[in-house]
Structure 1
């Protein structure tokens, strides 16, 4: 979950709203295990890793697609369905620019990096909460 922020503006750095504790699963875990991780962490996406390095991302939507098309959550692995073309942003990027990046890339989750290190995850909901927040009057 993103940190509780009293107020953020579209110009603020995305680190202000990112979830720092990113849910991860191993690339060889079953999709049932992935679903259980989503539920346990109350998140909409998990990062798939190998030796601590991010390889891909799996969202609730990915699991629904597998289930709806007759896939078996017990035998299919995270590596079978993960999105490997990760869209990333830097923690200093503005919330507005990250929202634009999401729109342009057609994604709902963006991995936030500090150099080469994954430091957080931002969802479309996190960004929309800031972009649609009514301005605070002085």
Structure 2
């Protein structure tokens, strides 16, 4: 199945200048495990629950830290026309649980391992 049939076409995001507490609140509010980090409107990276845990474990004052300090900037994306199994394999190989989805270079949503697992479970 194509990613276009699986991904969530909502973009929950933050700016790199936002405090981690605000980022965590957004994740809770939207019930998501990752946010796209934007620099203006450009995708600058992704921040995940794992990144927030790292901040808690390594910073003397995580509340004063910004999203940019813990953003994963090695950006991998999925394309709408990619096969979901190929994307799942790539995510497993990289040890990541969320991928921004783009359409010809434009951010259009996010796909998570949960989305891909649901697809496999419901397809049985």
Q: TM-score, length-normalised on structure 1?
A: 0.84
Query: Following the alignment from structure 1 to structure 2, what is the Cα–Cα distance between the partners of residues 129 and 61?
Result: 21
Structure 1, residues 93-113: CA drift from partner, whole Å, max 9, x if none?
Answer: 111111011012221111111
Q: TM-score, length-normalised on structure 2?
A: 0.93
Q: Which runs of 5+ in 1 are unaligned?
A: 1-11
Structure 1 segment 50-89 matched on structure 2, within 5 A: 50-89=39-78
Runs of at least 4 residues off by over 3 Å: none
Q: Which runs of 5+ in 2 are unaligned?
A: none
What's the CA shift for 1:31?
0.5
Q: Which structure has more helix as a fraction of its residues? A: 2
C-alpha contact (below 8 Å) 1:27/1:79 kept by paired residues = yes
2:36 paired residue number: 47
| Higher RCO (C-alpha 8 Å, min separation 6) | 2
Q: CA RMSD in A?
A: 1.3
C-alpha contact (below 8 Å) 1:89/1:110 kept by paired residues = yes
What's the CA shift for 1:69?
2.8
C-alpha contact (below 8 Å) 1:96/1:131 kept by paired residues = no
SS at match of 1:107: coil
1:36 to 2:25 alignment: yes
Query: Following the alignment from structure 1 to structure 2, what is the Cα–Cα distance between the partners of residues 37 and 78?
Result: 12
Count of residue pairs the alignment pairs up: 124
Return the index of the structure with the highest Cα Rg. 1
1:114 paired residue number: 103
2:79 paired residue number: 90
